[in-house]
Amino acid sequence: MDMRRAVTDLLREAILTAFPDIGVDSLPGPEMLEVPPDSKLGDFAYPCFRLAKPLRMAPPKIAQAIAEAANQPEVATAQPVNGYVNFFFHRANFAKNTLETIDKEGAGYGSQPDTGKTVVLDYSSINIAKRFHIGHLSTTVIGNSLKKIYSHLGWRTVGVNHLGDWGTQFGKMIAAFLRWGNWEMVEEGGIDALTKLYVRFHQEAENNPALEDEGRAWFKKIEDGDPEALSIFNRFKELTLKDAQRVYDLLGVTFDSYNGEAFYNDKMGRVVDELRDKGLLVESDGAYVVDLEDYKMPPCLILKSDGATLYATRDLAAALWRKDNYHFDKCLYVVAYQQNLHFQQVFKVLELMGYDWAREQMEHVAFGMVSFEGQAMSTREGRVVHLDDLLHRAQEKALSIMQEKSPGLADMAQAARDVGVGAVVFTTLLNNRIKDIDFWWDRALNFDGDTGPYVQYTHTRCCSLLRRAQEADLTAFPDYSVLADDEAQAVLRLLSRFPEAIRAAQKDNEPSVITRATLEVAKAFNKYYYEHRILDGEPQQVAARVMLTRAVRDIIRLGLSLIGVSAPERM
């Protein structure tokens, strides 16, 4: 049973009993119930100040009348407190309803049926010929989590890895490859070999400026579809994706499309033509822009003076193509907040072009920047952490701990992978996404406190208890009154509100809501575990406690899966 809905029905019935002449429009909905900061004040509270005007009565008197009229003790009892009506659940029935619902719905708890809606998520967006570093960690795991959350809530999801595969740098890379490289060297050295070639190009160009022209010439060949240029460039792309796939496999991240900037090369003409036809394209120092001064933004640059297109041109083309092909109801761009202005401009230009859906359906899901031990990351200065290095070090630490504490653990390597990678992802998604992340090795690999390994260990504790419970007699009907204590009720409140956390995460595109809700379930259960003997007592009591344990296991597993973290059964 949805307790928020049940208490709302109880509240509305009590209001109509106490005040039969009140208008239906004044009756509260479920969203008007508040969760008291202290459980001693109740499970839900309704502020009667909202009714003071239509009833022309002081809130404390309203609260008193509503509490006296509330008559469903099998659901909840009501108490008036300073203008609020506080509702206290019938503890045994609350336990029964919550646990039976979770037992029935399992992994689908809190899910919704097919909504008929589609969301396109643009995330990760790695650059070709560059190694995957921690600067791409946030966009990758936030986007992956949002894809899972929307899918759970009945949306059709389309994950897009908008590859950075366009620009003069790729012409320079081809020029460097033809001068100083070969395929054997590149295949053996991988992305690092390409990076060395690129660095050498810039070093050589300082003494030989003609190399810059050579690089531009090769990029022009890519633009013109030259077979040799495309053949070399496509092999660079294959090499990059092969290297990145190792990281995606570790993270469990997948995409439905890898259409990047190059894909829209022949689709930008539509954008330029439409802007020109609608009188939006104006010349500015030889370049062409869309004037956004009326919207307190600098002009959006569409074509440079040499006729070259820009990021905005390609993003406009991508938005139109995605709308035409995916018919999305929402399009999310999981990109760092440094691009706030860029997306504000792109969305406004689309709106000015007459595409009203841009105002409601396009959203920039911004996140904070990543620094390294107090300093901005810089490849040239060596302040960069490659993601595969981080994930492997995390696995090594997890393996070392397991070898010490669980030497007989079966499939230890897989467990270490789950825990090590999970620690990195959980830490990344623990705080509000807009916060900057200062990356320190010791912090990232700390498995104590509010961490992924702590939550995963709670899951394994539940699994262990459930394995041991198989030896007990669980045929008895559960005695839910044994779960009326404060510790069990704290767990049950969190379990019952977990669907709200999922919906809130989707509403705000904020995976940390689920991360923290899952962490709170783990904390509450561990407190319960230390205060109560789960497998001791009468069969009916054991059956109820085991049912609670099973529900906690299922919700932790669900919560971790929605943020892209594995839930091992042993560790």
Write out the two tokens for 171.
């012409």
Which residue do the tokens 């105002």 mark? Answer: 359
Q: How far is CA 339 from CA 194, 272, 368, 419, in A?
A: 27, 22, 11, 33
Relative orientation angle of helices 91-105 and 3-18, to the nearest 10 degrees: 140
Q: Are 194 and 174 in contact (CB under 8 A)?
A: no
Can you read off the two tokens belonging to residue 459?
Answer: 């899951």
Q: Is 327 a catalytic residue?
A: no
Which listed residue (130, 152, 162, 237) is catalytic? 130
Pairing of β 437-439 and β 370-372? parallel
Q: Which amino acid is at 533?
A: R
Sequence-ordered list of residues with C-beta below 8 angstroms from that of 560, at least 6 positions apart, any chain: 422, 452, 455, 456, 459, 518, 566, 567
Which of 61, 90, 136, 364 is labelled catalytic?
A: 136
With tokens 């689309």, the residue in question is 350
Active-site position among 40, 53, 104, 133: 133
> Among 523, 515, 467, 532, which Cα is nearest to 491's?
523
3-state secondary structure of 30: helix
What is the distance, to the nearest Å, from the Cα of residue 88 to the centroid of all Cα atoms in its chain?
A: 33
- Identify the H or E element spanning 303: strand 300-303
Catalytic residue status for 136? yes
CB count in 10 Å sphere of residue 267: 16
Q: Quick check: is 130 catalytic?
A: yes
Do residues 390 and 444 touch, judged by C-beta distance below 8 A? Answer: yes
Residues 532/488, Cβ–Cβ less than 8 Å: yes
**DSSP-derived secondary structure letter, 127:** B
Which residues have CB under 8 Å from 208's CB, separation 6+? none
Burial of 371 (0-12, 13-18, 19+ CB in 10 A): middle
DSSP H helical ranges for 208-339: 210-224, 227-251, 268-277, 311-326
The whole-angstrom separation of Cα 230 and Cα 570 is 49
Task: Of 321, 405, 333, give the one whose Cα is nearest residue 362.
Answer: 333
Token reading at 195: 């990076």
Residues 345, 351, 352, 356, Cα dihedral to 10°: 180
For the chain, the helix, strand and coil percentages under 3-state DSSP, each to the nearest 5: 60, 10, 30
Residue numbers annotated as active site = 130, 133, 136
